[in-house]
Chain A
Amino acid sequence: MDMRPDPLVMMTSSVQDQAPKPVKVAAKNVNVYYGAKQALKDVSVDIPVKAVTAFIGPSGCGKSTFLRCINRMNDTVASCRVEGLIQIDGKDIYDPALDPVQLRARVGMVFQKPNPFPKSIYDNVAYGPRIHGLSRSKAELDEIVEHSLRKASLWEEVKDRLKDSGTGLSGGQQQRLCIARTIAINPEIILMDEPCSALDPIATARIEELMAELRSNFTIIIVTHSMQQAARVSQRTAFFHLGILVEKGETSQIFTNPTDKRTQDYITGRFG
């Protein structure tokens, strides 16, 4: 299979994003350990606001681990230890004074496998607004739910069965439901860990369109194994290998003109 990205798509994305954007997430010398095993070594990266940043790299290189550092999901893994500095809008998110629960309301996450709650479609989307008190009335909540489902381009398919269980939807619909659920809490950053790996090409295309749209309001970080997808949706790309951030930069530059030999080998499909 040809792993090189479609040059047309790349051209459009590189044309749009010439001007450097302000930094939303900044990581400096991040080391992560699972017990004695080091999963990330000295990772430093700046992630721009209102853009899609893609993390690529072979399996087990630490992409998910790094993603989970950004919303402190690693706190729920007992053996995990994070060192170094991660800032959002210049504030250290590992500051003991900061409440990780509050942080996660600002940094939403969509997982590889769709994981809707065993509740109705409506309640799935209303879950976040309810626990964070984002609506004052039922009407307002209804509006948030509809808006989020529309944003996730799921509204037309489910508007007549909002009371049905979210787990009864198809895989692609479930994933869009999870995205709607995340949008509903109006986060500043959305982390997506291989969100399309369980989906067919049509559902994948819809979610990619969605990302392009969401990018105007949110900062998006996506982990993907598909080089074409990274090239299509992202403006910036970071390549991880064996726990090291090997190379980062404009997506167009990473895919057409990588500076590191390992990056070149990976994107041309020579290993990984």
Chain B
Amino acid sequence: MAGWYALLILALLTAGYVISSARARSIAGGNYAEMHSLPAYHGLYTAALAMLPALICFLIGSQLASYFATQTAIAALPGDVQNDVLKQGAALREAFNIAAGGPINSSSAEIQSAAAGYASVLSAGQWITLAIGTFTGLAGLSWGLSRVSMNFRARNGFEKLVHGLLWVCATIAVLTTIGIVFSVVGETYRFFFDPAITGKPTVFEFLFGTEWNPQAALRADQGEIQTAYGFLPLLTGTLLITTIAIAVAGPLGLFSAIYLAEYASPRFRAIAKPILEILAGIPTVVLGFFAALTVAPFIRGWGETFGLNVASESALAAGVVMGMMIIPFISSLSDDVINAVPQSLRDGAYAMGATKSETIRQVILPAALPGIVSAFMLAISRAIGETMIVVMAAGLAANLTFNPLEAVTTITVQIKTILVGDQEFDSAKTLAAFALGFVLFFVTLVLNYIALKVVQKYREQYD
């Protein structure tokens, strides 16, 4: 059905363009200078007028069709199934499956009739949608066609349509973001304040508690398992690993960027830069098992030679590998901003009798600072949001520690742990993930804000 619809829209577009521009050409009779808009614009305008109503019909019609079809299916189900949300969901899934051509054999008669009702209403709805779409599309086309004339401002009209299209795209992007934020904020609010949720912490306990153990007892016979939602160990774990990662990636990334931008021969640069960028393309799950299987044992062995007790999963291993992950962000972006520093500044410093390293330290880096800061901030955001490497290399134990040789866990890892597997949506445990997500979001927001301020403060205008 969607295929037919795509064909319809394509046909409307082509017909609108071809017919309308042909008509404009014949009206102009070769005298395009007198005509307000060139024939191609008349074509584009009519094509858009033909396509838009059909597209809108499709978006609304397909929603309505599936809504009514689902209502029909529910009506066909037995009363006790209709009233139980879980049973109803399962029965509907089964019916949808059958309607989509799945096996019928083991299903009850009610579900079969629900499936049949669903299928017939859906297909009727879709045909109606197609018919209305065709009709409105043709109406739009003929309206556009009727407006073709010497003086009609198709060019300006098309401009307005483009404007509208861009506005719609931008609005969708913004609304999506706002929607996500609201959903996270809403669930976080429920986590803290919804009286229906049991076993939840207070805001104070959450923010300043030193113990994290969200595993509630699943069955009554498991006895009382004490849950705790102290968020501090996750925060320290996140900060610890991020700090290690930046300590590794900051100097390495920045210095390699300086080398590439200022010292390396063009040939070396042409080879080294793509290699660094490949590093950015390695999936983090690969880096994760590299951390767990190669780096962690290495650090452990190295610790033993010094008589240190290193956990087999350590913050250090995860942090170091995460550092490797973010090196390319820092080096590639810093390299770009260093290259963007005008040559005239370098000339100025050399002409004052500065050496190369003095020029870099005292003139180029200060000039490139805003860009370098944003490169670091981007890298930090990546590090804070990274999950896979930590899961594999740093473990799940929520230890409140600043010792890099111990196992720690991070906010993202806990979100993942909480939400893996089947979940009840209404437990404190699940909602805790939203609270963590909110905090994470807040932390990165603050970091980005700081970065923005730094960049604004030190921005230099070059022309």
Q: Which residues of A contact B346 (CB under 8 A)?
A: 76
Q: Measured between C-beta atoms, what is the minimum distance from B244 to chain A in Å?
A: 32
Q: Is A61 an interface residue (CB 8 A)?
A: no
The interface stretch among B98-106, B281-289, B352-360, B407-415 is B352-360
0/1 per residue, A153-178, Cβ < 8 Å to B?
A: 00000000000010100000000001
Asked whether, in the complex, the Cβ of A73 is within 8 Å of the Cβ of B351, the reply is yes
- Chain A residue total in the interface (Cβ 8 A): 28
Q: Is A127 an interface residue (CB 8 A)?
A: yes
Out of B347, B353, B460, name the residue touching A167 (CB < 8 Å): B460
Q: Is A3 an interface residue (CB 8 A)?
A: no
Asked whether, in the complex, the Cβ of A117 is within 8 Å of the Cβ of B354, the reply is no
Asked whether, in the complex, the Cβ of A131 is within 8 Å of the Cβ of B358, the reply is yes
* Complex-state Cα separation, A14 to B291, whole angstroms: 79
Q: Is A101 an interface residue (CB 8 A)?
A: yes
Known: A73-B347, A178-B348. A115 touches B342 (CB 8 A): yes
Q: Measured between C-beta atoms, what is the minimum distance from A249 to chain B in Å?
A: 28
Asked whether, in the complex, the Cβ of B351 is within 8 Å of the Cβ of A109, the reply is yes
Asked whether, in the complex, the Cβ of B345 is within 8 Å of the Cβ of A181, the reply is no
Interface of chain B: mostly helix, strand, loop or mixed? helix
- Chain B residue total in the interface (Cβ 8 A): 20
Q: Which residues of A contact B351 (CB under 8 A)?
A: 71, 73, 104, 108-109, 111, 182
Q: Which residues of A contact B354 (CB under 8 A)?
A: 101, 127, 131
Asked whether, in the complex, the Cβ of A118 is within 8 Å of the Cβ of B353, the reply is no
* Complex-state Cα separation, A181 to B362, whole angstroms: 15
* Complex-state Cα separation, A182 to B347, whole angstroms: 13
Known: A101-B353, A185-B353. A118 touches B460 (CB 8 A): yes
Closest partner residue, chain A, to B342 (CB atom): A115
Which chain A residues in 198-250 approach chain B with CB under 8 Å? none
Q: Which residues of A contact B353 (CB under 8 A)?
A: 101-106, 128, 131-132, 185
Asked whether, in the complex, the Cβ of B348 is within 8 Å of the Cβ of A117, the reply is yes
Out of A106, A115, A165, A185, name the residue touching B348 (CB < 8 Å): A115
* Complex-state Cα separation, A104 to B362, whole angstroms: 17
Q: Is B349 an interface residue (CB 8 A)?
A: yes
Which chain B residues in 229-280 approach chain A with CB under 8 Å? none
Known: A119-B366, A131-B358. A181 touches B352 (CB 8 A): yes
Asked whether, in the complex, the Cβ of B347 is within 8 Å of the Cβ of A118, the reply is no
Q: Which residues of A contact B460 (CB under 8 A)?
A: 118, 165, 167
Out of B344, B362, B367, name the residue touching A111 (CB < 8 Å): B344
Q: Measured between C-beta atoms, what is the minimum distance from B461 to chain A in Å?
A: 7
Q: Is B419 an interface residue (CB 8 A)?
A: no
Q: Is B350 an interface residue (CB 8 A)?
A: yes
Asked whether, in the complex, the Cβ of B350 is within 8 Å of the Cβ of A104, the reply is yes
Q: Is B363 an interface residue (CB 8 A)?
A: yes
Q: Measured between C-beta atoms, what is the minimum distance from B133 to chain A in Å?
A: 59
Known: A128-B353, A131-B352, A185-B353. A113 touches B344 (CB 8 A): yes
Q: Measured between C-beta atoms, what is the minimum distance from A130 to chain B in Å?
A: 9
In the complex, the number of residue pairs spanning A and B with C-beta atoms less than 8 Å apart equals 68
Q: Measured between C-beta atoms, what is the minimum distance from B77 to chain A in Å?
A: 72
* Complex-state Cα separation, A111 to B348, whole angstroms: 8
Known: A117-B363, A167-B460. A101 touches B355 (CB 8 A): yes
Q: Measured between C-beta atoms, what is the minimum distance from B360 to chain A in Å?
A: 13
Known: A118-B367, A118-B460, A167-B460. A127 touches B345 (CB 8 A): no
Out of A109, A115, A131, A165, name the residue touching B345 (CB < 8 Å): A115
Count chain B CB atoms within 10 A of each CB in A101, A113, A115 and give the residue with the most. Answer: A115
Which chain B residues in 348-385 approach chain A with CB under 8 Å? 348-355, 358, 362-363, 366-367
Closest partner residue, chain A, to B458 (CB atom): A118
Asked whether, in the complex, the Cβ of A76 is within 8 Å of the Cβ of B347, the reply is yes
Q: Which residues of B contact A102 (CB under 8 A)?
A: 353
Closest partner residue, chain A, to B344 (CB atom): A115
Q: Which residues of B contact A115 (CB under 8 A)?
A: 342, 344-345, 347-348
Known: A119-B366, A131-B358, A167-B460. A111 touches B347 (CB 8 A): yes
Q: Which residues of B contact A117 (CB under 8 A)?
A: 345, 348-349, 362-363, 366-367
Count chain A CB atoms within 10 A of each CB in B342, B351, B367, B461 and give the residue with the most. Answer: B351
Which chain A residues in 112-169 approach chain B with CB under 8 Å? 113, 115-119, 127-128, 131-132, 165, 167
* Complex-state Cα separation, A185 to B461, whole angstroms: 27
Closest partner residue, chain B, to A166 (CB atom): B460
Out of A76, A132, A167, name the residue touching B350 (CB < 8 Å): A76
* Complex-state Cα separation, A182 to B362, whole angstroms: 17
Q: Which residues of A contact B350 (CB under 8 A)?
A: 73, 76, 104
Count chain A CB atoms within 10 A of each CB in B348, B355, B362, B461 and give the residue with the most. Answer: B348
Q: Measured between C-beta atoms, what is the minimum distance from B210 to chain A in Å?
A: 46
Asked whether, in the complex, the Cβ of A108 is within 8 Å of the Cβ of B352, the reply is yes
Known: A115-B342, A118-B460, A127-B362. A104 touches B352 (CB 8 A): yes
Q: Which residues of B contact A181 (CB under 8 A)?
A: 352
Out of B352, B363, B367, name the residue touching A182 (CB < 8 Å): B352
Q: Which residues of A contact B345 (CB under 8 A)?
A: 115, 117-118
* Complex-state Cα separation, A159 to B362, whole angstroms: 23
Q: Which residues of B contact A132 (CB under 8 A)?
A: 353
0/1 per residue, A69-100, Cβ < 8 Å to B?
A: 00101001000000000000000000000000
Binding site for B on A (CB under 8 A): 71, 73, 76, 101-106, 108-109, 111, 113, 115-119, 127-128, 131-132, 165, 167, 178, 181-182, 185
What are 6 A-B contacts defined by CB distance under 8 Å?
A73-B347, A76-B347, A104-B350, A127-B362, A182-B351, A182-B352
Which A-B residue pairs are the 3 nearest by beta carbons?
A105-B353, A109-B351, A115-B344
Given contacts A76-B346, A182-B352, 17 further A-B contacts (CB under 8 A): A73-B350, A76-B347, A102-B353, A104-B353, A105-B352, A105-B353, A108-B352, A111-B347, A117-B345, A117-B349, A117-B366, A118-B345, A119-B366, A127-B354, A128-B352, A131-B352, A132-B353
